[in-house]
Amino acid sequence: MKEPETTPASGGRNTRPGSSCRTPAPLGSTVQTTIERGNAYLSPKLFGVDITVKKVTRGDDALKLLAEQGRGQSPAAGNDYLLAWLEFSYYRKTRGAGDEPYTLHEGQFVASSEDGLTEYPSAPDSEAFQPNLVGHTFQPGEAYEGWLLFEVPKTTRRPLLCYKRQHTEGMYGIWGYVWFRLS
């Protein structure tokens, strides 16, 4: 995964929590970020997003929660299920941004290894676990809480969560990923 690591103000390293896999936001902290909407030929509409990873459940505890919703299958050999409970808020950041809705799509959130180099996508049928963030359509000013379900290797002791921001190609397009601890 590629991401910008430097800013002029940081003297070469961006150390703001959530700005890098080296400085992931701690569990329970809120990261405020910006996404662009629109197209490459017009000025983008800027919207704000606040994300908080509130709770993480892994292993046997995750299996119990899945069983409560009728999902009894086990993860692949050598893997654990990992459930992350997030609050996601979407709001207008600039005047004239309008009422453009925003849908979270599969692949915008991925779990990763501690170094951020290996991605672990959502577990099969993860959208069946409710309430789920993936597929939810937000209206400006809306906040919603829900689960993300991943399957991660048991050997990954301190996995991370990566949010891949949406941006308009050809405009600013400099937005990096946003990172969170999942342990």
Number of separate helices (H) and strands (E) present in the chain: 1, 10
Cα gap 114→69, rounded to integer Å: 30
The pLDDT tens digits of the residues spanning 107-120 come to: 899 999 999 999 99
pLDDT digits 0-9 by tens, 4-62:
433 333 334 557 899 999 999 999 999 999 888 776 667 778 889 999 999 999 999 99
pTM score, two decimals?
A: 0.84
Look-up: residue for tokens 């915008």?
Answer: 108
Q: What percent of the chain has pLDDT over 90?
A: 57
Burial 146-167 (b: 16+ CB within 10 A, else e): bbbbbbbeeebeebbbbbbebb
Query: What pLDDT, on a 0 to 100 scale, did the predictor assign at position 61?
Result: 95
Pairing between β-strand 119-120 and β-strand 109-112 as defined by DSSP bridges = antiparallel
pLDDT of residue 14: 59
Between 42 and 105, the more confident residue is: 105
Exposed/middle/buried for 142, CB within 10 Å: 0-12, 13-18, 19+?
middle
Q: Are 162 and 179 in contact (CB under 8 A)?
A: yes
Give the domains, in start order, of the chain with CATH numbers.
8-181 (2.60.40.1240)
